[in-house]
Amino acid sequence: MAQGSIGIFDSGVGGLSILAQIRRRLPEENILYFADQAHVPYGPRDMQEVREFSETITQYLIDGGAKIIVVACNTASAAALHYLRRKFPDTPFVGMEPAVRPAARTSKSLKVGVLATPATFQGALFESVVERFAHGVDVIEQTLPGLVERIEENDLNGPQTRAILKDKIVPLIDAGVDTLVLACTHYPFVIPTIEDLFGSSLVVIDPSPAIARQTERLLDENELRRDASAPGDVTYISTDDAYALVTMAVHLINTDGTSVLVNWDGRSLRQKKQN
């Protein structure tokens, strides 16, 4: 039985929504969580740039003992997942794809809204998901500029966050949407605010439990489960402020851990001591 860690990465705190589900399902596993907060948000960036960040982060996690990589970021999955699978053929990857399939099955109005970053909509991945799963259901794309930054600031329910959500979701409801796909891992943290604003007029599809199931499946398939009954450790790595990342993790998902600061040095990553 393997003893490596599950490596999870995102541009920031969004992937913590995935970490929480993985931890619930696989509590004995050690986890390395990498947040590239020096570069958040990824969404408005060039795909090539996000691919380069993703490759360097993946290499860093594998060098640090990751036995499987969870790309807990829709933007990075759209920009890099195929490339990473080719580049690191010995490592299993779990990636995010917009949950259009369950949404299309759920919607009664046959109109589904997808909330994601601009880069996620640009990728071939989104196009292929719509082609494979929309089946006569209208899929309406919506970006929410500024929302990822508000969530990074721990503003989950303040006036600015509420204004962004209202501004972007009301037109979807007016267009007949009854089902919303959260295709950015930051967004599950504002589900309570969405519910507060729109009550039962919307079904919200959060893919994070399915991602945790897929992670478990891949560990089993590759015989990579950790052979232990005690809970695993969580290490939080940030390219900006690792202490602040741990504080956010405790606040958002109630999971403490050790902090590690790494700095970008051109295109490579170097571990630092945080003061």
Q: Which chain residues interact with ligand DGL by CB under 6 A? A: 10-12, 14, 40-43, 73-75, 117, 120, 148, 184-186
Nearer to ligand DGL, 4 or 32 (CB): 32
Instruction: Report whether the peptide linkage leading into residue 41 is cis, meaning its omega lies within 30 degrees of zero.
Output: yes
Nearer to ligand DGL, 4 or 7 (CB): 7
Q: How far is the CB of 36 from ligand DGL (least distance, A)?
A: 8
Number of Cβ within a 10 Å radius of residue 93: 18
The DSSP-derived string for 11-30 is SSSTTHHHHHHHHHH-TTS-
What is the DSSP code (8-state) at residue 231? P
Nearer to ligand DGL, 41 or 113 (CB): 41
Q: How far is the CB of 230 from ligand DGL (least distance, A)?
A: 30
Spell out the SS3 assignment of 39-52.
Answer: CCCCCCCCHHHHHH
Nearer to ligand DGL, 121 or 226 (CB): 121
The catalytically annotated residue of 13, 73, 151, 262 is 73
Cα-based distances in Å from 60 to 52, 78, 123, 198: 12, 20, 25, 41
Q: How far is the CB of 110 from ligand DGL (least distance, A)?
A: 26
Q: Is 253 a catalytic residue?
A: no
Q: How far is the CB of 119 from ligand DGL (least distance, A)?
A: 7
Q: Is 73 a catalytic residue?
A: yes
Q: For residues 209 and 219, give the distance between their C-alpha atoms in angstroms, rounded to a whole number.
A: 16
Q: For residues 18 and 38, give the distance between their C-alpha atoms in angstroms, rounded to a whole number.
A: 20
Q: Which residues are catalytic?
A: 73, 184
